[in-house]
A and B are shown apart, each in its own frame.
Chain A
């Protein structure tokens, strides 16, 4: 096996594996959030994770992003065993490999849109001018360049999420994680964000989307993973509408 920017390349010539979860358990006290999860995501895939509240969807996302550590099992992302990294290692890993989009955007209120986006690159040491130039390009691509000097409080929900997406893409991540990206948006803004995610996937961006919204999953993902009680209950190819695997 070899590793490229998108992950581990298989012997079969298939796209490399970007995410590889094997027997992942996560417990909070007596509560089991994840109970032996196995999941692989290949480069260029768009995978939607669905399930009822408390089934472990967000915990899964946190594991993949390196925001939380499993109680047992291994999480490999882009060929890297996250369990082997300390906090600094995880931060550097996220910086290089992960882009995150949140339901409530999580923009910094003190910074205008442009600086919110540039921030991700500046943390890596990219000079301010260069980071801002790339941020303008991204905002332009996402259709919010005219709002670059506006503070988050003055942006609409859709605009905020576009700015958040731009920030997530700033460091050209191998994997884009989205946690209920349309959950806090009106339907029109939600549609816009969905289109954006589809466009990104079409140009090769690997996506992992956690959502309650079947419409979002159906439109944006090529594969659906259904969770129940901390386990993968069902996996299906959305296009085929047929189950690939049932727990």
Chain B
């Protein structure tokens, strides 16, 4: 065994507590980093992987069959810039009058394909088989799951023969709602032809548009009806996750920063406190390089162990965390797993970071002469620190307190690192408090809502083999109003709509009744005042290149309705618009109400009301509404709480380490102070004050930074629009409480070493001198 390794092992064994602190800090830091990177990567990487796996189409284009021919379209595959193309496939829009397989009524786009393979958009069969005969259909399934029980279901489109579901498949390109044989597609009177393209360059929306323009350059005017870029799908894929991504990104970055600072602080402290040991090693004949090697090995051992455990825990946690984060999102065949590269990368990168952090002070050890190292025992103190101590000694503060307040100035570098960690801890706590308040305010009932328990009443669907209300829409509403306890009844109708100029369908939510305006939850703009006005969320507007005041045209089975976007809800679905029942009446006279929201008079028993409704009309399935915050709110609050706890623990560990080092370095002073009558309580007060002052200053610095970070985040969440009242969450008592966060982190970290300082045996300390 080499002398370096032997000396390192001895140093590790002798400094058990410090070794444990390094290991613990690296463990917490690695767990935080793995979690943060998992979620950040999962936001887009799984889509990319699944999309590439299917050789997804960069653009799916629909052409007017009356203006172009299949041969002309086939030629577009050979245009410059087109890497691969598939089609033309016949495309038909079916009108589904009833709910089908859990989907609302509306348009179903089917495409005729002989098989799921091909150079582009290799559709993945999830259950059943591919359609091989007329009357068969394979339905596009947004989720990987087990829809086998629904195989054999009959779809009955208006004006077309029924289709039997023989398979479920997934296209990450969302090239169709379903696939039939080419012969069947021809029989469905297709209105268009579909081409799918992959381009040489498709990294941006502009390049996709340019590629499509080049491919379709020679076609007759008006031949291209609509086209959709894969970037829109990618954006839609992460649309819900987008509501938490800014939060997660910030916490991830904070986690990384705090980890780097604390690791640097802990490791450099270990080296600085070992100066006497360094001197002894050099006196024994260790070369400067060997001394550096001893110290690097000494900190690397606990760092590697902590990192391995941290990676394992982070990896174990990231699976469930990802599942929660992406719950309810159409993930297609994308695998929601933490990226595999984290497993080898973290155990390499984190110890490397630790080694770099150790290298700076270790190089000081490299330069220090043996005699000076042994004589000094620790790094020399600075003149500024002495002046501050002197100034404090003349103040009216209790001497134990003024001594403590002066200590940070003795080691400015260590103080700066410790303070930075506390500042980041306070930023995190402030940010979490702000975000939680904002999200809770956002999930609270809209302003103007009356108090009272609520009941959600779902309308039974024949397609899902549920009893359908015999009373009809008006009868159902009348029943709900007449059942004792009801104070307000609001209905929601759901229809799948076409959007003129766009290939995909969108959902329309139409509200009617006593609190329709409140149900739309408009936070920007205004509530629709007539049939030609809608609201749409920021994600919808972003993906369709729209803004408030723009006009779009809705299409329901050929009936078109031009509307103006007049408002934005807090959290709009990326594929939905909202409006009042007047707009729905302008599109159709058919019933489409899917649920009712009933507000009861205060004191009414919601469960009894729900039971009474369902007893009177089995087609109405009523249940008391949960008052719990929604998934996004719970996720954001859950995430921020976990990260805040982790970061606070890491910051407190940094403080713990700093105080531990200070206590060790000042053992002689402590012994002397106790010998002249400093009580244990005064020792604790002095030691805690030495970092509590830093905590207080860090609090004052961290709060405005946390408030700024909160503002930046809530203003830049793409899919959420917060009302000003939701952003203005800061109040004096809350800020006063936050100001204590820095002190709390500092005191938490300092208490244990302070108590051990108070218990120092004076005789032992002074005798050792």
Known A-B contacts A62-B763, A106-B668; the reply to A112 vs B390 at CB < 8 A is yes
Q: Which of A43-51, A76-84, A115-123, A215-223 contacts B (4 or more CB under 8 A)?
A: A115-123
Which residues does chain B contribute within 8 Å of A17, judged by CB atoms? none
B532 at the interface (CB under 8 A from A): no
Cβ-defined partner of A128 (8 Å) among B396, B758, B761:
B396
Residue of A62, A92, A125 contacting most chain B CB atoms (<10 Å): A62
A111 at the interface (CB under 8 A from B): yes
Interface string of B405-420 (1 = CB under 8 A from A): 0100010000000000
CA distance A118 to B679 in the complex (A): 17
Which residues does chain B contribute within 8 Å of A167, judged by CB atoms? 676
B769 at the interface (CB under 8 A from A): yes
Q: Is the CB of B766 within 8 A of A123?
A: no
B682 at the interface (CB under 8 A from A): yes
Q: Is the CB of B675 within 8 A of A132?
A: no
Q: Is the CB of A91 within 8 A of B390?
A: no
Which parts of A93-129 form the interface with B (CB within 8 Å)?
94-96, 100, 102-104, 106-112, 115, 118-120, 122-125, 127-129
Which residues does chain A contribute within 8 Å of B675, judged by CB atoms? 65, 67, 94, 100, 106
Interface string of A150-179 (1 = CB under 8 A from B): 010000000000000001100100000000
B394 at the interface (CB under 8 A from A): yes
Which residues does chain A contribute within 8 Å of B681, judged by CB atoms? 88
Q: Is the CB of A110 within 8 A of B396?
A: no
Which parts of A64-80 form the interface with B (CB within 8 Å)?
65, 67-68
Which residues does chain A contribute within 8 Å of B758, judged by CB atoms? 87
Q: Is the CB of B677 within 8 A of A95?
A: yes
Which residues does chain A contribute within 8 Å of B385, judged by CB atoms? 110
Interface string of B736-769 (1 = CB under 8 A from A): 0000000000000000000000100111001101
Interface string of B674-715 (1 = CB under 8 A from A): 111111111000000000000000000000000000000000
Cβ-defined partner of A102 (8 Å) among B399, B400, B669, B766:
B766
Q: Is the CB of A104 within 8 A of B677?
A: no
A9 at the interface (CB under 8 A from B): no
Which residue of chain A has the shortest Cβ distance to B675 in the bound complex? Answer: A100
CA distance A196 to B381 in the complex (A): 32
Q: Is the CB of A91 within 8 A of B674?
A: yes
CA distance A128 to B394 in the complex (A): 5
A211 at the interface (CB under 8 A from B): no
Q: Is the CB of B680 within 8 A of A88?
A: yes
Known A-B contacts A115-B393, A123-B400; the reply to A171 vs B677 at CB < 8 A is yes
Which residues does chain A contribute within 8 Å of B390, judged by CB atoms? 111-112, 115
Interface string of B374-416 (1 = CB under 8 A from A): 0000000100011001100111101110000010001000000
CA distance A125 to B767 in the complex (A): 28
A58 at the interface (CB under 8 A from B): yes
Q: Is the CB of A128 within 8 A of B393?
A: yes
Cβ-defined partner of A124 (8 Å) among B395, B672, B677, B769:
B677
Which parts of A160-202 form the interface with B (CB within 8 Å)?
167-168, 171
Cβ-defined partner of B678 (8 Å) among A91, A102, A104, A115:
A91
Which residues does chain B contribute within 8 Å of A168, judged by CB atoms? 676
Known A-B contacts A67-B675, A119-B399; the reply to A104 vs B769 at CB < 8 A is yes
B671 at the interface (CB under 8 A from A): yes
Residue of B674, B675, B763 contacting most chain A CB atoms (<10 Å): B675
Interface string of B88-126 (1 = CB under 8 A from A): 000000000000000000000000000000000000000
Known A-B contacts A92-B679, A118-B393, A132-B394; the reply to A109 vs B381 at CB < 8 A is yes
CA distance A110 to B677 in the complex (A): 19
CA distance A88 to B673 in the complex (A): 13
Q: Is the CB of B680 within 8 A of A151?
A: no
Residue of B393, B394, B400, B679 contacting most chain A CB atoms (<10 Å): B393
Q: Is the CB of B386 within 8 A of A91?
A: no
Q: Is the CB of A58 within 8 A of B676?
A: no
CA distance A167 to B676 in the complex (A): 9
Q: Is the CB of A110 within 8 A of B406?
A: yes
Which residue of chain B has the shortest Cβ distance to A131 in the bound complex? Answer: B399
CA distance A106 to B675 in the complex (A): 10
CB distance from A122 to the nearest CB of B (A): 4
CA distance A37 to B668 in the complex (A): 29
Which residues does chain B contribute within 8 Å of A171, judged by CB atoms? 677
Cβ-defined partner of A122 (8 Å) among B399, B671, B672, B680:
B399
CA distance A162 to B675 in the complex (A): 17
CA distance A124 to B682 in the complex (A): 11
CB distance from B538 to the nearest CB of A (A): 58
Residue of A111, A151, A168 contacting most chain B CB atoms (<10 Å): A111
CA distance A108 to B390 in the complex (A): 12
Which parts of B507-546 form the interface with A (CB within 8 Å)?
none
Interface string of A131-142 (1 = CB under 8 A from B): 010000000000
Which residue of chain B has the shortest Cβ distance to A108 in the bound complex? Answer: B669
Q: Is the CB of B395 within 8 A of A128?
A: yes
Q: Is the CB of A106 within 8 A of B769?
A: yes
CA distance A118 to B395 in the complex (A): 13
Which residue of chain B has the shortest Cβ distance to A118 in the bound complex? Answer: B393
CB distance from B766 to the nearest CB of A (A): 6
Known A-B contacts A67-B763, A108-B669, A128-B396; the reply to A94 vs B677 at CB < 8 A is yes
Known A-B contacts A111-B389, A120-B676, A123-B677; the reply to A102 vs B769 at CB < 8 A is yes
CA distance A125 to B386 in the complex (A): 22
CA distance A115 to B400 in the complex (A): 13
CA distance A110 to B678 in the complex (A): 17
CA distance A132 to B767 in the complex (A): 29
Q: Is the CB of A120 within 8 A of B677?
A: yes
Which residue of chain A has the shortest Cβ distance to B759 in the bound complex? Answer: A87
CA distance A94 to B393 in the complex (A): 22
Known A-B contacts A67-B762, A102-B766, A125-B398; the reply to A108 vs B672 at CB < 8 A is yes
Closest 10 CB pairs of A and B: A95-B677, A122-B399, A106-B672, A91-B679, A62-B763, A68-B763, A67-B763, A67-B762, A115-B393, A110-B389
- Sample 19 A-B pairs with CB under 8 A, ordered by A number: A67-B761, A67-B763, A68-B763, A91-B677, A91-B678, A91-B679, A91-B682, A92-B677, A94-B675, A94-B676, A96-B677, A102-B769, A110-B385, A110-B410, A111-B389, A119-B676, A120-B677, A122-B399, A123-B677
| Residues in chain B within 8 A of chain A (CB atoms) | 381, 385-386, 389-390, 393-396, 398-400, 406, 410, 668-669, 671-682, 758, 761-763, 766-767, 769
Known: A91-B682, A112-B390, A127-B396. 10 other contacts (CB 8 A): A91-B678, A91-B679, A92-B677, A104-B769, A106-B672, A106-B675, A115-B390, A119-B393, A123-B400, A123-B673
| Residues in chain A within 8 A of chain B (CB atoms) | 58-59, 62, 65, 67-68, 87-88, 91-92, 94-96, 100, 102-104, 106-112, 115, 118-120, 122-125, 127-129, 132, 151, 167-168, 171
